[in-house]
Amino acid sequence: MTSVISAPVEQDVASHALIEEALRTFAKAFRAWQLYLPNNPTRERALSISRAAFVACWSAGIERIRLQVREAEFLHNAQPVLREVERPSDGIPWILYRDGLRELTIMPGFEHEALDAMLALLQRARQAAPDDDDLVTMLWVADLESLHYRYVEVGSNYDGLLSPGGASGAGAGSAEYVRPAPRAEALDDAPAFESAPPSGVVRVEDFDSTLYFLDRRELAYLQEEVRAEFTADSRREVLSILFDIIEVQSDTAVRAEAIDRIDELMVNLLTTGTYDLVALGLREASETVRRVPELDEGARKRLFSLSDRLSEPGVIGQLLQAVDEGTRAPGAETLEALVSELRGGALAPLLSWVTHSSPGPARAAVERAVVGLAERQTGELVRLLTSDDASAALGAIRLSGRLRTTAAVPMLAQLLRTTDVSTRVEVVQALASIASVGALQALEVALDDADRDVRVAALKAVGAQRHAGALARLTAALRRKELRSADRSEKTALFDAFGALCGDAGVAALDAVLNARSLLGPKESPEMRACAARALGLVATESAFASLRKAADTRDAVVRNEVARALRVGGNA
């Protein structure tokens, strides 16, 4: 039953991927159509790739491609198959949507004469003057047999729906007009005319119905388009064109020249602080290597080396300095996207910066990206544990614990022999987070550390992980005379760890601390007895509760309260 159900799902996913690829290549062909002359090899190559993508759809059993047209995307079965994110107003979906087209159906055979004709019509519609025919009129005249469409009448009070000829019985590519009831529109912005305007006064409202008058929405649209055109960074287009050349050109020399220009452009973008385009270039380089398997080895290495060059510590240092100073600093999302595309060489300066930087959106973004980078570059992360840069080493220790990197355990165990106390504490916490067998065994050494903070951190770690291998060391620690002079937190950590591990076998040792008496009263101090009561509560066996009940009426309030709490938690009060 499972295979019967999953087969259509897999087929739908495969069909969706084929349609998405066909429309992506069609968009690239349209871009090449705009940029190159008809005899240009790049343009011919882009058209050939687009034709092959549509043929692949028909070969896979797809009978037709029915698309819903939105302002910046095409939908197929309510799923996006082409989305124009960078500059939607220059994309194919917007050209169709602007002229009223709301649905497009592509039939087998479109890849022959209809593909070239459709690209020519899209280019004419993109460059059309206000008095020229719109795209619907052009399609009606062209009468493309393999293309059906539906549209609404734009610029009137009616949504006139036109159905494709294939559905109504008319000729292919034609449409039948269906006029529904008028649609009411809000007229809040309409000018208010006086019943009797003064004689000889000329008002702008008198020209509303003239041929060349534009309403507010049209003026706003034109202003926005002009602003977008003047503020657009042409380097984005240049970068896209260069990667298109690498993808569609098979000549090695042409690809090498395009990579040279990309390399120069990336340096310029980084120098001018255009970090979003740097991230885009690195991402496109990786995608190009993945999408074009026929790339020669030299081109692959050069595209990969783009990230290597930008991952050098000197380059990353300048970027992070700009973030600290706020000069040409990228936003958090841009910074995260850029760091995510870097290589292992960038890990050291990034970890060093994260360790000492102030909390904020930039630091959070870099931390998220560094986690992904460290997961891909485990060897570099382990190497940085012994870095001469103390901040980078500290960041590597913390990140090893956060990622639970078992490969870092041997190096972390060596770091427990360092003279720096704060480093040993961080190592203990990292080993506790990793919590593998090797990590917990390494923690046993820290139980006998010379520093109190390291010992307490190790005691809490083995107790929380219930590492039975540490029981012998804990038992020996309970018998040491030095324990009596230790502070309350260390005593509590030791007894808690012992109580979590010893089980019924350790009740006798704990009872001796809690209930042993001399001629003058209890042998142990109230602090030691209270810690023993806590530990017996953790053992939580019948013999442990019996030991606690013997001390329930002790005169010392601290011990009595701790015994009562232990019995209450165990339900034996």
Q: Are 99 and 126 in contact (CB under 8 A)?
A: no
- Residue 3 pLDDT more than 60? no
| Mean predicted lDDT score pLDDT of the chain | 81
Length of the chain: 573
What backbone phi and psi angles, to 5 degrees, belong to 512? -65, -35
**Average pLDDT for residues 217-223, to the nearest whole number?**
83
Res 204: pLDDT: 55
Judge residue 184's burial from the number of C-beta atoms within 10 Å of its C-beta, 0-12 exposed, 13-18 middle, 19 or more buried. Answer: exposed
**CA neighbor of 453 nearest in space, from 495, 408, 490, 502:** 490
HSE-CB at 260 with a 13 A cutoff on CA atoms is 6
- Phi first, then psi: give them for residue 359, nearest 5 degrees: -60, 145
Distance CA 82, CA 237 (A): 18
* Two structure tokens written together for 467: 């590492």
Query: What per-residue confidence (pLDDT) applies to 293?
Result: 83
Calculate what percentage of the chain has a pLDDT beyond 90. Answer: 19
Of 421, 419, 465, 418, which is closest to residue 443 (Cα–Cα)? Answer: 465
- Res. 5: pLDDT tops 80: no
pLDDT value at residue 313 = 80
d(CA 219, CA 216): 5
Collect all residues with Cβ–Cβ distance below 8 Å to 477 and sequence separation of at least 6.
447, 448, 483, 494
Q: What is the pLDDT of residue 21?
A: 92
- What pLDDT is recorded for position 175? 52
Summarised one tens digit per residue, pLDDT across range 275-306 is 788 888 888 888 888 888 888 888 888 888 88
C-alpha distances in angstroms, 189 versus 186, 194, 264? 8, 15, 52
CA dihedral of 273, 275, 280, 283, whole degrees rounded to 10: 120
- Rounded to 5 degrees, what are φ and ψ at 172? -60, 140
Question: How sure is the predictor about 208, in pLDDT bands with cuts at 50, 70 and 90?
Answer: low
Instruction: Spell 143-168 as b/e; 16+ CB within 10 A means b.
Output: ebbbbbbbbeeeeeeebebbbbbbee
Please state the rounded mean pLDDT for residues 49-67. 92
User: Which pLDDT score is estimated for 199?
Assistant: 60
Provide the CA 220 distance to its chain's centre, in angstroms: 34
Lowest mean pLDDT among 285-289, 394-398, 569-573: 569-573
**Which is higher by pLDDT, 208 or 50?**
50
Mean pLDDT of 453-475: 90
Residue type, 296: D
Q: What is the mean pLDDT of residues 419-434?
A: 90
> If DSSP codes are grouped into helix, strand and coil, which group holds residue 356?
helix
What number of H helices and E strands is found in the chain?
A: 27, 9
Predicted confidence band of residue 550 (pLDDT cuts 50, 70, 90): confident
Residue type, 404: R
- The whole model's pTM is what? 0.55
Q: Give phi and psi for 121, each to the nearest 5.
A: -65, -40
Q: How crowded is the C-beta side of 286, counted as CA atoms within 13 Å?
A: 12
In the numeric block, which tokens belong to residue 505? 């076998």
78-124 pLDDT, tens per residue? 899 998 876 667 789 989 998 889 999 999 999 988 899 999 999 89
Pairing of strands 521-522, 517-518: antiparallel
| Strand intervals (E) in 49-159 | 65-69, 73-76, 79-83, 101-106, 147-152
Pairing of strands 73-76, 79-83: antiparallel
Q: Quick one: pLDDT at residue 404? A: 92
* Per-residue model confidence as pLDDT tens digits over 302-330: 888 888 777 878 777 777 777 777 656 66
Q: What is the mean pLDDT of residues 389-411?
A: 90
Higher pLDDT, 357 or 1: 357
Q: What is the mean pLDDT of residues 459-467?
A: 90
The Cα–Cα gap between 353 and 324 comes to: 10
Q: Which of 84, 447, 470 is nearest to 240 (CA)?
A: 84
* Residue 132, CA distances (Å) to 125, 228, 270, 421 in order: 9, 24, 43, 79
Instruction: Please check the confidence at residue 182 and state whether its pLDDT lies above 50.
Output: no
Average pLDDT, integer, range 477-498: 88
Q: Which amino acid is at 356?
A: H
pLDDT at 172: 45
Is a pLDDT exceeding 50 seen at residue 164?
Answer: no
The helix (H) or strand (E) run that includes residue 175 is strand 175-178
CB atoms within 10 A of CB 455: 20
* pLDDT value for 480: 87
Identify the H or E element spanning 410.
helix 409-415
